[in-house]
Structure 1
Amino acid sequence: MTIRSAVVLAAGEGARLRPLTKHRPKPMLPAATAPILEHVFDALVDAGITELTVVVGYGRTHVQSHFGSTYRDASIEYVVQDKQLGSGHALLAAEAAVSEPCLVLNGDQLVAKGIIEDVRDAHDGGAVATLGLIRHADVADYGGVILDDDGDVAELVERPRDDRSYRLNAGIYAFEPKLFEYLRGPEPQLTEYSLVDGIANAIDAGEPVRGVESDGLWIDATYPWDLLDVTETLFESDADVEHRVSSDARVHESATVVEPVAISADCVIGPGAVVGPHVALGENATVGANAVVERSVVDADTRVGSNATLVDCVTGRGVRIGAGSTVVGGPGDVRVGDRVHEDEQLGALLADRVRDGGGVTYAPGAMVGADAVVTAGATVRGTIDGETEVR
């Protein structure tokens, strides 16, 4: 079936990625040097999609101002989900824009073009929806799917805990407009309208729902340290990631760049600095003289001072890391909300516009909120709230 349009769900915040999502939504966080959502758009356009309907909500101006009305000759229409009441509610917000079979994807998960093509090609109109599935070692934190012998979806289970043979729901769907009626009822669970619940409603009503198993790149960044894994996976995959130094970057002749790296336009790498491997530098980032940056995602407009060391580090935008400061690298214990994640490979997370005065040591797993100030010579451990001063 020829499907030329897609609905991309990009309205959520990504609460488990705080404090990085305090000022922008999860789909706009960096995967290497480009927003996650840009990678999603690339996969769709490469698969032949020419019309994009993007459901925005939290931080929507970040999405709209970045992409505008077109992306690589594909048109973009925005619809707003005023309250984040689940993926089904988000898709319902786009109902007026859907008049024929369509794809729907999550805007905060990276997927291979081939998975999208497999779902599109398998959808023939005989089913109300077709789901993209992949084999995955652990589906416990995601959605599991049980297929019957004919390849139809028999059951959908969120975060399954039993030992049945599940496929992972990759969050890629082809669907008929008729699906909208099943998104409205029965009553939603926990006051949210889940897309998965809507599909389950269709199955309960006797509608055929198909599953197509595929393989290829599928990555979800759930927690801040996952951005390091996402970038590393992109480097190691066949995805079109810039394994290069931009022609608009300035790298001192005595600096060392260890591939793979992605170094954006207007970056400056000073004398004697070592950058890489597995480092992504956003636009206008600066690495000072004799600084070392390894396995890190350094976002736009960040300054790394001379003789500083960053290992397993994630920064937001506009961060200032002083001379001689050290992120020693993971593993470390990281608190997210009321849960402590043990031995995660995170040296430190420094959210937007953190400032340190130099000579600061960040213990493994340190998380510093946006606009915090760390005075010279301090040692940072644990979670630091935004807009605070650390002495």
Structure 2
Amino acid sequence: MSVSSAVVLAAGEGVRLRPLTRNRPKPMLPAGTRPVLEHVFDQLIDAGLGSITVVVGYRGDRIRSHFGSTYRDAELTYVEQHHQLGTAHALAVAAPVVDGPTVVVNGDQLVDRRIVEAVVAGHDASPVTLGVLERQAIGEYGGVLLENGAVSELVENPTDERPYRLNAGVYVVEPSLFETIERLEPVDGELSLVDAINALLAAGESVRGVRSDGYWLDATYPWDLLDVSRSLFDAGIVQDAVAESATVHESAVVLSPTVVDRGCEIGPGAVVGPDTCLGENVTIGSNAVVKRSVIDAETRIGPNATVDDCVTGVGVDVGHGSIVPGGPSDVRVGDRFFEGEPIGALLADRVTDRGGVTYVPGTIVGAAAEIDAGAVVHGTIPADAEVRS
């Protein structure tokens, strides 16, 4: 069956990744040095899909302005989900532009083209075909039970011991699914695509599940961006490279694997890497050490600073001699507490420290916070706050 179009669901914020998502949606966070959504588009296009509809919502202007109307010669069409009311609701927003079987993927998760190709090849007359992966732990994701290639049940966040496979969030759907979505009753104010598929199953419809060995990556919490970058290095998706326009002083050391994007400057005696991603126009000062970190665009790491297991937003300024000592650490995100997570600090967009600052492992600093010279920072610092020494 011929499938040539895709719908990408990219309307959500990614609340568990706050404060990184204060100014942009989760699909625009960096995977390596490029937005997650850019990787998604690449895999869809490599799988032969030349027409892509993007459902935008939260900070959708960031997506539109970054990509415009085409990407790698593929046509991009945008539709807006004005209120984020669930994945099925987001898909329904795209209904007017869907006139045949189409691929549906999440715009905030990285999926291999092999999963897309497998689901397209395995699609038949069923209203939905979905991709599944073998995983030891489903965790906070969706579990799928299969019987002879047919889906018998979908369970979000399963806790029992049945033989679940991971729902990869890659679907081929027929336009008839929209009729099911129209009849769906909201749960907690949202219409879920998983609930829509379970409604099909309850009505006796067949839903196919197709197994694949392709990679699947997601960042649920800020420290997951470190794991994503390492996985991209391991899979060869992000190449160990220094951009031609970057400047690396002859006495600096760049340890593999590290990617250094355009316009970066690495000063004398600095050590960068391994497992490090430097976004566009990042400056690493003399004798600074940066390792196992994702440093986003326009960020400055001052001379003699040490930055380990760190995630930054855009335009961060880490001052002279400041120290992010690395994880593991205990972290609080909202009302949840996590132990032993591998993050030294998360510094959101435009955080500025004045130098000589020490970050206790697990520190989260909100956007545009300012930290006085010599301060010791710990816990969660709200946006726009001033931390005094």
Alignment TM-score, normalising by the size of structure 1: 0.98
- Between the aligned partners of 2:236 and 2:122, the Cα distance in structure 1 is 24
Distance across 1 between alignment mates of 2:136 and 2:310: 27
Q: Given the alignment of the two structures, is residue 243 of structure 1 paired with residue 218 of structure 2, yes or no?
A: no
Q: Does 1:259 align with 2:249?
A: no
Asked whether the 8 Å contact 1:291–1:307 carries over to 2, the reply is yes
Query: What is the letter of the counterpart of residue 120 of structure 1?
Result: V
CA distance in 1, matches of 2:310, 2:236: 24
Aligned-pair distance for 1:253? 0.5
Aligned to 2:114: 114
Which shifted more, 298-307 or 207-216?
207-216
**Residues 185, 201 of structure 1: 8 Å contact kept:** no
Q: CA deviation at 1:163?
A: 0.3
Which residue of the partner structure matches residue 388 of structure 1? 385
RMSD of equivalent CA atoms:
0.7
Taking every aligned residue pair, what percent have the same amino acid on both sides?
60
Structure 2 alignment gaps of length 5 or more = none
Q: Which residue of structure 2 lines up, in the alignment, with residue 129 of structure 1?
A: 128
Q: Secondary structure at the match of 2:183?
A: coil
Query: Given the alignment of the two structures, is residue 174 of structure 1 paired with residue 168 of structure 2, yes or no?
Result: no
Tell me the residue number matched to 2:312: 315
Distance, in Å, in 2 between the alignment partners of 1:167 and 1:333 is 30
Where do 1:187-336 residues align within 5 Å?
187-239=185-237, 241-336=238-333
Q: Is the 8 A contact 2:300 2:318 kept in 1?
A: yes
2:367 aligns with 370
Q: Is contact 1:183–1:199 with CA below 8 Å preserved after alignment?
A: no
The question of 1:139 aligning with 2:138 is answered yes
**Which residue is equivalent to 1:88?**
88
Tell me the CA shift for residue 84 of structure 1: 0.3
Q: Matched residue pairs, number?
A: 388
The one-letter code matched in structure 1 to 2:321 is G
Among 337, 340, 360, the residue aligned to 1:340: 337
Unaligned runs of 5+ in 1: none
SS of structure 2 residue aligned to 1:333: strand
Matched residues in 2 for 1:159 and 1:56: separation?
A: 26
Q: Secondary structure at the match of 2:242?
A: coil
Q: Is the 8 A contact 2:184 2:191 kept in 1?
A: no
**Code of the aligned partner of 1:180:** F
Query: Does the CA-based 8 Å contact 1:184-1:193 persist in structure 2?
Result: no
What is the aligned partner in structure 2 of residue 52 from structure 1? Answer: 52
Q: Following TM superposition, by how much is the alpha carbon of 1:183 offset from its aligned partner in structure 2, in angstroms?
A: 1.2
| 1:347-376 Cα distance to aligned partner (Å, 9 max, x none) | 000000000000000010000000000000
Q: Distance in 2 between matches of 1:41 and 1:6?
A: 10
Matched, 1:77 2:74: no
Q: Name the aligned partner's letter for residue 205 of structure 1.
A: A
CA distance in 1, matches of 2:48, 2:36: 19
Question: Aligned-pair distance for 1:186?
Answer: 3.3
Q: Give the match's secondary structure for 1:184.
A: helix
TM superposition score normalised by structure 2: 0.99
